[in-house]
Amino acid sequence: MSQDGTESLLRELAPQVLGALVRRYGHFDMCEDAVQEALLAAAVQWPDQGVPASPRGWLITVAARRLTDQWRSDQARQRREATVAAQLPPDEALAPGPGDEAHPTDRDDTLTLLVLCCHPALSPASQVALTLRAVGGLTTAQIARAFLVPEATMAQRISRAKQRIRQAGVPFRLPPEPERAERLRVVLQVLYLIFNEGYTTTSGPDLHRVELTGEAIRLTRAVQRLLPDDGEVAGLLALMLLTDARRPARTRTDGTLIPLAEQDRGLWIKPSIAEGVALLTRALAGTPIGPYQVQAAIAAVHAEAERAQDTDWPQILALYELLERIAPNPMVTLNRAVAAAMVHGPQAGLDLLRPLDEDARLAGHHRLEAVRAHLLELAGDHQAARASYQLAARRTTSLPERRYLQARAARLAART
């Protein structure tokens, strides 16, 4: 198996292995460390020695040995060591072999792990980091590179998150209803945060971080597989697929950003669009409508337009109005302003922006000024549009977005 194939397999198996250990031994933080060591061992050994017949069993066995070795090295935990050692099979049975399965079970704990990693005791940043490590199977170094922070910083963030989980005494099981629905909402929010950070990075030289969008889609697929009748899970997966389908057309060869209206739609990923539309169609037909389904429907309207001028803006505006009723948010209003401008003229959009100037949630956000600049340009007020483009460029920390906004401002300067 290739190195890429091995890495994909390890990411798929990571939550299954961790779930098996936590259910058997408890101590999420220690089990997570042991699983990471087992994943690293497999990443080194499997490309040279081959993948064992039971890769999941191999990982569980190695991680269990790492776990007991850790306990045995701590003399202050002799009593715990004796308890755990009594539960384990003899050492001979723990030696990883091609078909070894120390703890056979078909149970998939991915959803339980996601709920645990997205516990409300953790900050959103910690929820994202712990999800990527414990459920995504990424190393601390990989997560740090994805978010452009030092590895030591990310290690501390993950360590603190695991400490908070331990201190909170969170049991390893899905919470009862109605708490379960709320916790699932947070899980979907965290997965969407991961996707958005990958699709349009908040800082750095690149517009995309494909490793994050890919991981968000993979994890959302896993949740959708476990909850096939949940309309919002299907809606989120459809939204990710329909949005990510545009990725090949979003930048030029030099990394310059291309806005949606100017993209070569022939480059969009057609299988992703087809899958996203099919998921959304099934969800809308059989489940109560939710915010992710509405956002996916908006993305589908864009995807189904062969040319930018064919876009059904009245339908998009109606969908944003619906979204604003069921999930009010300043970003939704911002997007509704664009749709309103396309249907009723730029002044209608500019009127919707005025209340947002007083909304603390958008204070200092570059997107507000970027949208204002675009609408002012459509209205023919090039001087004011140029000033807003320049302000938006100063506010963004994404280099591709900054270059794009500066280029728009420079183009308007040449006209005045």
The candidate with the shortest Cα–Cα distance to 37, out of 9, 5, 69, 6, is: 69
**Mean per-residue pLDDT over the chain, rounded:** 89
Q: What is the pLDDT of residues 255-309, one digit of tens each?
A: 899 999 999 999 999 999 999 999 999 999 989 999 999 999 999 999 999 999 9
Q: Are 260 and 279 in contact (CB under 8 A)?
A: no
pLDDT at 126 over 80: yes
Per-residue confidence band for 6, with pLDDT thresholds at 50, 70 and 90: confident
Among the residue ranges 108-122, 302-316, 387-401, the one predicted with the least confidence is: 108-122
pLDDT at 91 over 50: no
Q: What is the pLDDT of residues 183-241, one digit of tens each?
A: 999 999 999 999 999 999 888 888 999 989 999 999 999 999 999 999 999 999 999 99
280-312 burial, b for 16+ CB within 10 Å, e for fewer?
A: beebbeebebbbbbbbbbbbbbbbeeeeeeebe
Regarding predicted confidence, which is higher, 34 or 145? 34
According to the model, what pLDDT value does residue 172 have?
87
Distance between CA atoms of residues 299 and 276, nearest Å: 9
According to the model, what pLDDT value does residue 288 have?
92
The candidate with the shortest Cα–Cα distance to 227, out of 187, 195, 274, 271, is: 187
pLDDT at 105 over 80: no
pLDDT at 101 over 80: no
Per-residue confidence band for 108, with pLDDT thresholds at 50, 70 and 90: confident
* Phi, psi torsion values for 57, nearest 5 degrees: -65, -40
Token pair of 256 as six digits: 């310059």
Q: What percent of the chain has pLDDT over 90?
A: 68
pLDDT at 89 over 80: no
The candidate with the shortest Cα–Cα distance to 191, out of 276, 284, 115, 121, is: 115
According to the model, what pLDDT value does residue 90 have?
42
According to the model, what pLDDT value does residue 87 have?
55
Token pair of 111 as six digits: 């959803």
According to the model, what pLDDT value does residue 416 have?
66
pLDDT at 78 over 70: no
Among the residue ranges 166-175, 247-256, 300-309, 402-411, the one predicted with the least confidence is: 166-175
Q: What is the pLDDT of residues 19-72, one digit of tens each?
A: 999 988 888 989 999 999 999 999 999 988 899 999 999 999 999 998 888 877
Among the residue ranges 94-103, 127-136, 303-312, the one predicted with the least confidence is: 94-103
According to the model, what pLDDT value does residue 79 have?
52
